[in-house]
Amino acid sequence: MNINIDNFAAAKYDVFSMFNNQWALCTAGTPAEYNTMTIGWGTMGTIWGPPMKGKQIITVFLRESRRTSDILLEGERFTVCFFPEEKRQDLGYLGMHSGHNEPDKISKTTLTPKMLDNAVGFEEATLTFVCKKIYTHQIGKDELPEFVRDTLYRDGDLHYIFMGEIEDVFGTIDK
């Protein structure tokens, strides 16, 4: 499903603030098996198309040690959900606990999973992007700037880059 670029482009998103300050949940999998984690890194843009016809994408960065990353490596759908400030404690919890060690970590939050066809979002989200994975690549430690490699990747737990074409959008950004 392609979003009408005119409708989507008319929306104003402060992507820098959304990912850096507000955070989000990236949820991978299907209603049968899924996992979610808090993300603070992400991008939005277009790629692989002529002017005004490029694929509209969200790119997320998930550490290889996370269950969400495992599920998304095997699957093809993910959501990126943004929440009002009062849900920050829930996002903090989900970011600090891995689905490998705590498979039902959502039950420890006030969030309610919401089935979106073959993807999973949350009732409390103010803005949800449903994406189809179109590209995956693991960050190469040797290609990173030294200051990044020596501070963020000392333990060797690298990020995968997941690029997803936006298939649907629900809600608006909470201001």
Q: Is the pLDDT of residue 113 over 90?
A: yes
What pLDDT sits at residue 53?
Answer: 86
Q: What is the pLDDT of residue 65?
A: 95
* Distance in angstroms (rounded) separating the CA atoms of residues 75 and 119: 10
Quote the pLDDT of residue 117.
85
Give 134-164 pLDDT, tens digit per residue.
Answer: 999 999 999 999 999 999 999 999 999 999 9
Sole residue written with tokens 């482009």: 9
Q: Name the H helices within the chain.
A: 5-10, 15-17, 67-74, 88-96, 146-152
Q: What pLDDT is stored for residue 158 in this prediction?
A: 96
Mean pLDDT score, 94-109: 93
10-38 pLDDT, tens digit each: 567 787 888 888 889 999 999 889 999 99
Is 3 in contact with 169 (CB distance < 8 Å)? yes
**6 or 166, higher pLDDT:** 166
Instruction: Give the model's pLDDT for residue 140.
Output: 95
Q: Is the pLDDT of residue 122 over 90?
A: yes
pTM of the prediction?
Answer: 0.90
pLDDT at 93: 97
Q: Where are the beta strands (DSSP E) in 7-125?
A: 24-30, 33-39, 42-47, 55-63, 77-82, 113-116, 119-122
CA-to-CA distance for 76 and 118, rounded, in angstroms?
Answer: 10
Residue 142 CB-density burial (10 A; 0-12 exposed, 13-18 middle, 19+ buried) = exposed
pLDDT for 131 equals 96
| Nearest residue to 79 (alpha-carbon basis) of 123, 13, 128, 41 | 128
Tens digits of per-residue pLDDT, 49-98?
A: 888 888 999 999 999 999 999 999 999 999 999 999 999 999 999 999 99
Place of tokens 């490596």: 73
What is the rounded distance in angstroms from the CA atom of residue 145 to the CA atom of residue 12?
32
